[in-house]
Amino acid sequence: MSKLRVAVLGAGGRMGSEAVRAVRAAEESAGDMELVAALGRGDPLSTLVEAGATVAVDLTHPDAVMANVEFCVRHGIHAVVGTTGWTEERLAALRDWLADSPGTGVLIAPNFGIGAVLTMRFARQAARFFESVEIVELHHPGKADAPSGTAVRTAQLVAGAREEAGLPAQPDATGTALPGARGADVSGVPVHAVRLRGLVAHQEVLFGGEGELFTIRHDSMNRASFMPGVLLGIRRIAGAPGLTFGLEHFMELDG
């Protein structure tokens, strides 16, 4: 079987440099992929074509990711995307590009951490049983966006499950508040973002009912924690044309 020819975009960054290491390590151990390009800011995207990349991993910046993914899709290069910033409008544009490039696959993974994916799944399952829910995400102070893509996705999943179950809006008697004191409202779920030196990537989903609290917490202690998910995405994306949103679709969670 031919090797997957992998390119990493954002290769000089915190996640990108870890992904370069992970792909090289997989090349040594499993031998099913090879790193053919490592692009930093300012490197031309044509390098991907010249290097014959078949899968590109994007770990750049919300301002850069759209142009990168559009280039990949238009050139039939599968993309595994960890970069955040995927609004509904952006996803709609991506679906249009993919419609013009059948056979090309794009994975958007709000979080590559296996435990983070499970957190989202379990939060969705728990949502209908509790009157109240709030999300606290905690990250390193170098993070460009707030709230995190993971927290937004978690809130959307929780909100969807609440709506399906016919739950009313959450109880909250707040009348006066300093702006931001109650967090950001994501689909009716308050999301609070903490930025603190020493943190990597962490999330708590807090559920409350009468006389009962239930907390789901996930901690990524380093960026190596995301790499099994990145490699899973690289290995699966060529067999999944179109848009896959969320690593859970490659994890056989219902099997």
Ligand X SMILES: NC(=O)C1=CN([C@@H]2O[C@H](COP(=O)(O)OP(=O)(O)OC[C@H]3O[C@@H](n4cnc5c(N)ncnc54)[C@H](O)[C@@H]3O)[C@@H](O)[C@H]2O)C=CC1
Residue type, 251: M
The yes or no reply on residue 201 touching ligand LZUJQKHR (CB under 6 A) is yes
Segment interacting with ligand X, rule: CB under 6 A, options 57-65, 97-105, 167-175, 177-185:
57-65
Q: How far is the CB of 237 from ligand LZUJQKHR (least distance, A)?
A: 18
The yes or no reply on residue 109 touching ligand X (CB under 6 A) is yes
Q: Lay out the site mask for ligand X across 34-53 (x = CB under 6 A, - = otherwise).
A: -----xxx------------
Question: Coil, strand or helix: which one is 178?
Answer: coil
Q: Lay out the site mask for ligand X across 3-32 (x = CB under 6 A, - = otherwise).
A: ------xx-xxxxx----------------
Q: In whole angstroms, give the CA distance from residue 57 to residue 238.
A: 13
Q: In whole angstroms, give the CA distance from residue 206 to residue 132.
A: 8
In the numeric block, which tokens belong to residue 20?
């370069």
Classify strands 132-139 and 105-108 as parallel, antiparallel or unpaired: unpaired
Per the annotation, the verdict on 61 as an active-site residue is: no
The yes or no reply on residue 139 touching ligand LZUJQKHR (CB under 6 A) is yes
Contact 79, 73 (CB under 8 A): yes
Nearer to ligand X, 13 or 183 (CB): 13
Contact 234, 80 (CB under 8 A): yes
* Residue 109 interacting entry, from ligand LZUJQKHR, ligand X, none, C-beta within 5 to 8 Å by type: ligand X
Single residue of 54, 60, 68, 84 touching ligand LZUJQKHR by CB under 6 A: 84
Considering only residues 154 to 213 of the shown chain, the ones binding ligand X according to CB under 6 A are none
Per the annotation, the verdict on 3 as an active-site residue is: no
In the numeric block, which tokens belong to residue 194?
């903490």
The closest alpha carbon to 171, from 212, 133, 215, belongs to: 133
Neighbours of 74 (CB within 10 A): 12
Residue type, 98: L
Active-site position among 139, 192, 202, 218 = 139
- Distances in Å between the Cα of 199 and the Cα atoms of 22, 93, 194, 225 are 22, 34, 9, 14
Residues that bind ligand X (CB under 6 A): 9-10, 12-16, 39-41, 59-62, 64, 68, 82-84, 109-113, 226
Residues that bind ligand LZUJQKHR (CB under 6 A): 84, 110-111, 139, 143, 148-150, 201
